[in-house]
Amino acid sequence: MKIRDYVIGANASMYYRLNFKKIKGVYYPKSEQELIDIVKIAREKGYGVTPKGGGSGLSGACTGGDRERIMVSSLRMNRVLTISKDQKYVDVQPGATPDEINAMLEPMGMKFWVAPSSRDIATVGGILSTDGGGNDTWRNGTMRDNTLRVRMVLYDGSILTVDWSGVKCENKKIEKALNSKGMTVHDVAGSHGTLGFITEIRVRINPIPKHTLSGGVAHYDDLNELGDVLAKMINEKCSIWYGEAIAEAHPDVRGDMKPPLLILEVPEENTCDLKGITGYKPISKEKLQQYKDTRIKLPKRNPNEGMQVALFEGYGFHGTSLRKMQDCVNEINDLLRSHDLEPFAKYGHGPSKWYLGDNSPAYGIVLHSREIRPPEKSGPEVFEAVKDIVALCKKLGVTPKPEHKWPFSDEVKNARLSEIRQALGEGFNEFLLDSKCYDVLASMV
């Protein structure tokens, strides 16, 4: 098998044009010691290290950019190490997926409550590195909210353990420096593999409650009305188990749906309160499943003419932008069309939760986006649209790529990661924090 087959593997982003001459090796360690030996080889040869999980993220971080580097996969480090039902935690290697963890927990009546749509592929190491979540983040939080402790290998080969109280490190100079900077799990979350290679994570687990759920759908005149309803749901801390919105969908793929709409699943005891806020109407289990299936298939379908792409993947509407969602989406769509990109579908989790670059939580809706890309559109031209979208999001008060975090556009997160790296050393995924990151990504589209 060629190195290309190993390196490309699963890479859900549009950044997949790699210079394979710069990739000096691909490794699949099974243990922490094997990983330490691999990092030593990279350090002695002056190569960077790019960690890679399932490759389901959309930021392009798992490609490693264009520097001389080795790529290290966590897919063979996928064991569940310890389960403590009483203390409600599980210790796992970074390559385990949520589905694999929950297959072991379900007979015990317990569950790991982080469920991205790619939960059968995404690894817990990768999910923490992007601080991902799913349509249950409103109820259970993002990956950082469910992480108790992280163990990782640094570029100098030492072991660093990070929890919510600080760090411990074999290298006491590094330990002192990082504790003086107040490093916690917050810093590992959303770090995109720039700090080190995660070898073990202690994740929180909780019992599976026994609820009878009721499903329903609510339709709205426009996205401002939908945003206003979501704001009320957030204010009232509504109890929902599933909340998905379809804001827009191309006529070729939306079937009999009439967006904008909100698909909800709630415990039966909470239905009365929710009806008064959302105006949702109960539907049969069969109809609910049909709506869910249509939503899941939106990113997998194409119009009768053209091919859809995940240009920028998603937008986080919160605060003022949530109540002006239609106006914001109109501006975003106008910008897309000015770049000859036709809006295809916008849908996503709501209410939802994510974190801003300063680690403060944001509550609103994560609206994923797909566009139809003209075949003649070059990669650099497409990336110009991405840069314009970042600027527009800043103007509108929208969080760009909230679930998959984009550290190269988040000045606060970027500065914090650079500060931490000064103390623990560089060597991992350096291109993400480089001033020329935009140029690198444009060449990879």
What fold is seen in the domain 213-400? Vanillyl-alcohol Oxidase; Chain A, domain 3 (3.40.462)
- The more confident residue out of 438 and 101 is 101
Has domain 80-207 been given CATH number 3.40.50.720?
no
Predicted local confidence at residue 97, as pLDDT: 95
Predicted local confidence at residue 58, as pLDDT: 72
Judged by average pLDDT, the poorest of 6-15, 61-70, 390-399, 435-444 is 6-15
What is the percent of the chain where pLDDT is above 90?
66
Q: Sorting pLDDT into bands at 50, 70 and 90, what band is 8?
A: very low
What is the rounded average pLDDT of the residues 213-234? 95
What is the rounded average pLDDT of the residues 300-324? 90
The DSSP bridge partners found for residue 392 are none
The rounded mean pLDDT for the chain is 91
What fold is seen in the domain 3-75? 3.30.43
Note whether 3-75 and 80-207 share their fold.
Answer: no
User: How would you write the chain as a 3-class SS string?
Assistant: CCHHHHHHCCCCCCCCCCCHHHEEEEECCCCHHHHHHHHHHHHHHCCEEEEECCCCCCCCHHHCCCCCEEEEECCCCCCEEEEECCCCEEEECCCCCHHHHHHHHHHHCEECCCCCCCCCCCCHHHHHHHCCCCCCHHHHCCCHHHEEEEEEECCCCCEEEEECCCEEECCHHHHHHHHHCCCCHHHHCCCCCCCCEEEEEEEECEECCCCCEEEEEEECCCHHHHHHHHHHHHHHCCCCCEEEEEEEECCCCCCCCCCCEEEEEEEHHHHHHHHHHHCCEECCHHHHHHHHHHHHHHHHCCCCCCEEECCCCEEEEECHHHHCHHHHHHHHHHHHHHCCCEEEEEEEEEEEEEECCCCCEEEEEEEEEEEEECCCCCHHHHHHHHHHHHHHHHHHCCEECCCCCCCCCCHHHHHHHHHHHHHHCCCECHHHHCCCHHHHHHHHC
Provide the residue count of the chain.
445
**235-258 pLDDT per residue, tens:** 999 988 889 999 999 999 888 889
Q: Over 80: is that where the pLDDT of 341 sits?
A: yes
pTM of full prediction above 0.85: yes
Domain map (residue ranges) of the chain? 3-75, 80-207, 213-400
User: What is the spatial distance between Cα 415 and Cα 359, in angstroms, rounded to a whole number?
Assistant: 13
Q: Sorting pLDDT into bands at 50, 70 and 90, what band is 64?
A: confident
What is the rounded average pLDDT of the residues 349-360? 93
**361-390 pLDDT per residue, tens:** 999 999 999 999 998 989 899 999 999 999
Predicted local confidence at residue 255, as pLDDT: 82
Q: Over 60: is that where the pLDDT of 54 sits?
A: yes
What is the rounded average pLDDT of the residues 96-105? 96
Q: Sorting pLDDT into bands at 50, 70 and 90, what band is 7?
A: low
**134-145 pLDDT per residue, tens:** 888 999 999 999
